[in-house]
Structure 1
Amino acid sequence: MTELMSNPDVWLAVGEIILIDILLGGDNAVVIALACRKLPEAQRNKAILGGALGAILLRIVLIFFALELLMLPYLKLVGALLLIWIGIKLMLPEDEGEHADLKASPKLLGAIWTIIVADALMSLDNVVAVAGASHGQLELVIFGIVVSIPIIIWGSKLVLRLMERFPIVIKLGAALLGWIAGGMAVTDISLPALPSWAYYIAGITGALVVVAVGGSLARYQQNRTLRSKDA
C-alpha cells in the first residue's frame, strides 16, 4: 500500500477522480437541497449525512461493476464515446427546470431515500468517468469519492460560484473527461498493443474534440436562445 501511495501516477489519478466528482456533483448538491427542504431544521443535517453515506456506498458498488464490465472487449470504446458526450454536455447551458419534478419528503427516512435514489439515477456519468480515471483500482475510487463527497455537500455553493465566475474551470474539466476518454479507448483489450505515446495522442485528441464540439454546441444554443427572445 505504501508503494502504491508513493507512486505519482496514483496521486494524479486520485486528483482526477476528485475533480470529476466535484465537476459532476453540482446536480447532487441541488438534489440534496431539494430533498431536504420540507424537513425541520434539526433533521436536515441527519438527512444530508444519511443520504450522502448511502449514495457513497451505492456509487462504490456501481463503479465496482463498471470496472468489471470495462474488462470486456469493446466496452472501453463504448465507455470512451459516452465519456466524450458527458464532457460535451458539461459545457452546454444548464436546464433550469431539470429537477422541478423532484418531490421533497417531510420525513427523515423519506428524504434520505430520495437523496440515494436520485443520486443513483444521476450517477451514470460520474460512474463512467471515475471508472476510466481509476485505471481499474477500486481503492483509488473509494479514496477519491470519500474525499470529494464532503466537498460536494458542504462546499458545493463555493464550487458552483467558482465555476460561474471562472468558466475556464468548466472547460478544463470537460477537457479532462476527453483526455480520460481517449486514454480509455486505446487501452481496450480488443485493440492490439500500442506504443506508449499513443495513450497521450489519444488523450489530447479526446480533449480537443470535447472542447471544440462542446464549445460549438454551447454557442449554437446561446444564439438560438437569443433569437427566440428577440422574436
Structure 2
Amino acid sequence: MELTGALAAILTLIVLEVILSADNALILGVIVQKLPPALRRKALFYGILGAYVLRGLALLFASLVIQLWWVQALGAAYLLYIALKHFLSPQEAHAPPPLEASAAQFWKVVAQVELMDLAFAVDSVLVAVALSEKLWVIYTGVFLGILALRMLASLVVTLLDRYPRFKHLAYLVVGLAGAKLAVGGWDKLMKEVLGRPELALGLDKEAFSLLILAVLLLGTLWATRKPAPA
C-alpha cells in the first residue's frame, strides 16, 4: 500500500509539473529558437542538467527558496520584455533564426534557460512539498516532470519553425506567464518578507496556469490550421 501511494504521488507530481509549467516548456522553446537548429537540442540538454541541479538544491532548501520573490520578479520582467519586444518590433519578430552562433551567444541562451527554470522552480517546490513528505518521491516526480517538459520544449521548437502563426501565440503565452510570475513574486514579497498578507493580490496560480493551458491548446488549433485559399 505504501508503494502504491508513493507511485500515485510520483504520477501526480509529473502531471502537475507538466500542467502547471506548460508555459515553461513553451518559453524554453522560444528562447532556444534564437540559436541555429544544430545547437538547439544541445542548449536544451544543458538546460536539463542545470534544471536537475537547481531543482535538487531548491527542494533541499525549500524554506529559503519560497522566499525568493526577487527571482520571480526578474523572470517576470524578462518574459514581459521579450513578449512586448516581439509585438512591438514586427520586423525582428519575422526574422529567420541565425545560421551560426558564437560560444558567448550559446551560453547566454543556456543562462536564460536556467534563469527561467529557477523562476518557475519556486512554485514547483511548493507543490511538490505539499504532495509528499518523502524526499525520494518528490525528487522522482519532479525530475521526471522536468524531462517531460524538455520533450515538450523540443516539440515547441518544431512548431515554431513549421507554423509562422504559432510564434505569435507563443509570445502571447510568454506575456501571460510573465504576468503570472509578477503577481506571484508580489504575493511572496507581501506574505513571506514584509508580513503584509492583506496587500497580496491572491492569484490562484493553478487556475491561471489552466487558463494559460487553455489559451495554448485553442491557440495551437488556430496556429496550425491551414489558411483559407485566397
TM-score of the superposed pair, with normalisation by structure 1: 0.52
Matched, 1:119 2:124: no
Match of 2:48 in 1: 56
* Mapped partners of 1:14, 1:70: distance in 2: 19
Contact kept in structure 2, 1:17 and 1:133, CA below 8 Å: yes
2:72 to 71, 83, 93: 83
Match of 1:5 in 2: 7
Cα gap change, 1:121/1:51 in structure 2, threshold over 3 Å: closer, same or farther? closer
What is the Cα deviation at residue 127 of structure 1? 1.7
Cα gap change, 1:131/1:14 in structure 2, threshold over 3 Å: closer, same or farther? farther
What is the Cα deviation at residue 31 of structure 1? 4.1
What is the Cα deviation at residue 115 of structure 1? 4.4
Q: Which runs of 5+ in 2 are unaligned?
A: 130-137, 209-230
Report % sequence identity.
13
1:161 to 162, 166, 169: 166
What is the Cα deviation at residue 147 of structure 1? 0.5
Contact kept in structure 2, 1:132 and 1:184, CA below 8 Å: no
Local SS of the residue matching 2:85:
coil
Amino acid at match of 2:14: V
What is the Cα deviation at residue 148 of structure 1? 1.2
Amino acid at match of 2:110: D
* Mapped partners of 1:139, 1:125: distance in 2: 21
Cα gap change, 1:32/1:5 in structure 2, threshold over 3 Å: closer, same or farther? same
Cα gap change, 1:54/1:162 in structure 2, threshold over 3 Å: closer, same or farther? closer
Match of 1:40 in 2: none
Cα gap change, 1:121/1:6 in structure 2, threshold over 3 Å: closer, same or farther? same
Contact kept in structure 1, 2:70 and 2:185, CA below 8 Å: no
* Mapped partners of 1:34, 1:48: distance in 2: 8
Cα gap change, 1:20/1:143 in structure 2, threshold over 3 Å: closer, same or farther? same
Local SS of the residue matching 1:206:
coil
* Mapped partners of 1:36, 1:175: distance in 2: 30
* Mapped partners of 1:118, 1:140: distance in 2: 26
TM-score of the superposed pair, with normalisation by structure 2: 0.52
Structure with higher RCO (Cα < 8 A, 6+ apart): 2
What is the Cα deviation at residue 122 of structure 1? 3.8
The CA deviation string for residues 97-130 of structure 1, in whole angstroms up to 9 with x for no partner, is 7999x98647xxx77x854552233422322322
Q: Which runs of 5+ in 1 are unaligned?
A: 38-43, 191-197, 212-231
